[in-house]
Amino acid sequence: MRTDQEAKQQIIQITNELFEMGLLTPTGGNISARGADPELYWITPSQMYKGGLSADDLVCIRPDGTVCEGVTKPSVEYQMHWASYQARPEATAAVHTHAPVATAFGITNQTFPPINTDAIFLADTRIVPWFMPGSKELADAVGEALKVSRGAILQCHGLMTVGKTMRDAATRAMMLEETAKIVLYCKQFGGELALIPPEWVERLAQFASFM
Ligand SMILES: [Zn+2]
């Protein structure tokens, strides 16, 4: 269990990392973490520039989006974050990015063939059809997808990941983008794919729960 102070520090650190990697747009994407009270969570604010947030910009909210601490307006995606925690009771952090390659991967209905170990770990990723950002419909659909995998790609929007730790959730978000890039490069080269043999896919898949 982390303190509220730790929750805020981790959100700022990961927001900065993801922004520098180009996985958040100036106002697109949001990060949340459970703090001291398991019924509440901390989240990034709505519409503020993501490249320079400080701990004072974060808000602590209840599941219905009402603010219990902080002065900014919470992300409009608060319902999607709450649905993610409900889908995965062990999750303590949720990361929503607007990663460009993973988003295009979802729009074009791609899948992860076993081109490397990360692709095997991500093979259960669900693709969620488009729903209005900030809607209850999107939150419900993402919650269902995250019951199957700890990552979901949102068509025409971005992606959502959860983790037992903030680092786990962020790592999966980064892995989705990097692995989608390799799929893209393979398609651009256009040759025949040299895949990991099925017996190794099966053995490696057993390690997929590490994050
Ligand atoms: Zn979004």
Structural domains in the chain (count):
1
- pLDDT of 127 strictly over 70: yes
pLDDT in tens, 167-190: 999 999 999 999 999 999 999 999
Confidence at residue 95, expressed as pLDDT on a 0 to 100 scale = 98
pTM, full prediction: 0.96
If 0-12 CB within 10 Å is exposed, 13-18 middle and 19+ buried, where does residue 127 land?
middle
Ligand 1 centre distance from Cα of residue 119 (Å): 24
CA of 199 to the centre of ligand 1 (A): 38
List helix spans (H) across 159-205: 166-189, 198-205
For residue 168, the CA-to-ligand 1 centroid distance in Å is: 20
Q: 80 C-alpha to center of ligand 1: Å?
A: 10
Distance 75 CA to ligand 1 centre (A): 9
CA of 133 to the centre of ligand 1 (A): 6
The residue range of the domain holding 175 is 4-210
Q: What is the CATH number of the domain that holds 50?
A: 3.40.225.10
Confidence of residue 17 (pLDDT cuts 50, 70, 90): very high
**The pLDDT of residue 1 is above 90:** no
Q: How far is the CA of 201 from the centre of ligand 1 (A)?
A: 32
**Distance from the CA of 156 to the center of ligand 1, in angstroms?**
10
> Average pLDDT over the chain, rounded to whole?
96
4 CA from centroid of ligand 1 (Å): 24
Could you tell me which residues come within 8 angstroms of residue 24 by beta carbon, excluding any fewer than 6 positions away?
15, 18, 50, 97, 98
Tens-place pLDDT, residues 24-55: 999 999 999 999 998 999 999 999 999 999 99
Span from the CA of 157 to the centroid of ligand 1 (angstroms): 6
The answer to whether the beta carbons of residues 12 and 20 sit under 8 Å apart is no
